[in-house]
A and B are shown apart, each in its own frame.
Chain A
Amino acid sequence: MSKSKNYWKKNIRYITILLSLWFIVSFGCGILFVEQLNTIQIGGFKLGFWFAQQGSIFGFVAIIFTYIYLMNKLDQTQNN
């Protein structure tokens, strides 16, 4: 019982951290702070605009694959 409680608690912690990142790369960098970030230019991109049209999507992919990795590891501890 305590084992599965621990599993669930860790899962919730991963979800909370990763969803905060999800919020930051899209709503944070792409919408709320887009004007401040647009003052920074990298190559031909204004940074805020880049996050809104490219960076956020790359971020999403990275977030899901991180979660897959973390949960596969967590699942293994559960099985042992």
Chain B
Amino acid sequence: MELQYWIWIAVGLSFSLYIGIAIWSRAGSTKEFYVAGGGVHPIANGMATAADWMSAASFISMAGIISFGGYDGSVYLMGWTGGYVLLALLLAPYLRKFGKFTVPDFIGDRYYSNTARSVAVFCALIVSFTYIAGQMRGVGVVFSRYLEVDIVTGVLIGMGIVLFYAVLGGMKGITYTQVAQYCVLIFAFMVPAIYISFLVTGNVIPQLGFGSSGADGVYLLDKLDGLHRELGFHEYTSGSKSMLDVFCITMALMVGTAGLPHVIVRFFTVKKVSDARKSAGWALLFIAILYTTAPAIAVFSRTNLIETVSNQPYEEMPEWFDKWETTGLLGFTDKNEDGLIQYTADTTTNELTVDADIMVLANPEIAQLPNWVIALLAAGALAAALSTAAGLLLVISSAVSHDLLKKMVMPNISDKGELIAARIAATGAVCLAGYFGINPPGFVAATVALAFGLAASSFFPAILLGIFSKRINKEGAISGMLVGVSLMLFYMLKFKFGWFGGGTKADWWFGISPEGFGTVAMVFNFIVTLIISSRTPAPSKDIQELVANIRRP
């Protein structure tokens, strides 16, 4: 059967499933809209968290980034999983015990101040908007590549679907569609991975195939190191970044993960404290399936790519080469006019440019897998992008309707009124996200790191200290958050956008990249919070009792 038909079937079926779930799980109260009624099973919540967490970037781009970075790519693998240990051990159980709806709720109540609440709302909105714009763009890109509609139509279809189930069902609708989306995306990711692992190494488990040898008896990783040396790249299994920078980026991503509001709120949806711990464990297990497979795919596709193209005549390239060349993701210019493809680290002689996304998207074609596998991949990529977008949407709408409206502007608003406000806010947020998806601001790629840095340097210390210290007061927490966020913003604006005089790699403080600077800003946040708190009065008895209470199981 034609590839196009397969794709329409896969996408059509998965979308009808999401819509069906949305109709079945409409939200009738704010509690259902914000936290799905608070009775989600820990395993279901684990799946929903995994789908929420794994975005278009994890699904489409990560394996490709690792494929080009080799060891350097490890920062994403460790950084985007290790945060769950922090969540399970340090944050999730206590925030569940606290038992409110949002992250700014906790900050506002624990630090008995609407200033603290406003700072938290501000950070939550910035973090979520930078993220969601990227997701809608991802939806548009997948549609345009696979379904041959233009990006604008793709974004509009994606907006329509998300709008339908997020506005109708709130957290309740989102939770159960995310469970379905996890199943779709993990199946779509694993099927080609298992195929390719079997083709290349004869082992059906990619995690093992990764360390096995190919048909020629040489270990894949040794072969790849050798190929890299020949072509002038740094060895695949050793990196090009400094150890300090790798350390800081990994830490910023881990702590940022633990501080991201759309991940934290998922733990408000389970019944009890022990369920919050359990669902963090399940979530990481479900995420780990994809995250331990991605580096294996990276190695298979890197080897495949180099062996297929390096020093081969351009005329003899397989069909997929032409196809992806027309999309602009693959480019060849014959600089020395010998008709062969020279793929090297040296930019003056290198003739091939490869976009990282191609590694996952074109992999089934490179490995000559059947058409239905490619169709599955399209449905999986859409599931990954839509599930993350929906989770972020909910954070934005609850920040507006609950934290701003109910808690600060109109405290007397009825539950019904708040529910209507939440739905209007969600609709507004979808439209804004769609706008950014269609007209992507140039900074989207650069600001994903900013989102993690911001979450790490603002929320994490305030929440952590709020639970583990009774002495930290509002003066300390507010000044800590402000110092952390401003320092992070300053560094990002200076080195990513050229403000404040700009600067190059040589000017980085201690050689730490903007991606890793969240770690430094977080340390400053901690120091400022501790010093200011120790010089100002302790919080009242009530607050200390609140802290003692969230520590009880």
Which of A's residues lie within 8 Å of B, judged by CB?
Answer: 4, 7-8, 11, 15, 18-19, 22, 26-27, 30-32, 34-35, 38, 42-46, 49-50, 52-54, 56-58, 60-61, 63-65, 67-68, 71-72, 75, 78
Contact = CB atoms under 8 A, between A and B. Distances in A.
B274 A52 contact: no
A60 B284 contact: yes
B447 interface: no
Contacts of B281: 61, 64-65, 67-68
Most buried by A among B82, B84, B93: B82
Interface string B211-242: 11100000111100000000000000110000
Nearest to B468: A12
A67 B280 CA distance: 11
A27 B284 CA distance: 18
Contacts of A43: 211-212, 219
A15 B288 contact: no
Contact of A31 (B219, B243, B288, B292): B243
Nearest to A75: B553
B481 to A, nearest CB: 23
B5 to A, nearest CB: 37
B552 interface: yes
B85 A63 contact: yes
Interface of B: 66, 71, 73-74, 77-78, 81-82, 84-86, 88-90, 93, 207, 210-213, 219-222, 237-238, 243, 246-247, 250-251, 254, 274, 277-278, 280-281, 284-285, 288, 291-292, 295, 548, 551-553
A50 to B, nearest CB: 7
Given A44-B222, A49-B237, A54 B89 contact: no
Nearest to B287: A57
B278 A60 contact: no
Contacts of B288: 57-58, 60-61
Most buried by A among B74, B86, B548: B74
Nearest to B208: A43
Contacts of B238: 35, 38, 49
Contact of B78 (A30, A35, A71, A72): A30
B193 to A, nearest CB: 14
Nearest to B551: A8
Contacts of B247: 27, 31-32
A67 B74 contact: no
B409 to A, nearest CB: 38
Contacts of B280: 64
Contacts of B212: 43-44
A54 B293 CA distance: 9
A78 to B, nearest CB: 6
Contacts of A32: 243, 247
A31 B237 contact: no
A7 B221 contact: no
A19 B74 contact: no
A49 to B, nearest CB: 4
Nearest to A46: B237
Contacts of A15: 89-90
A73 to B, nearest CB: 11
Contacts of A8: 551
B543 to A, nearest CB: 17
Contact of A67 (B221, B222, B277, B285): B277
A19 B89 contact: yes
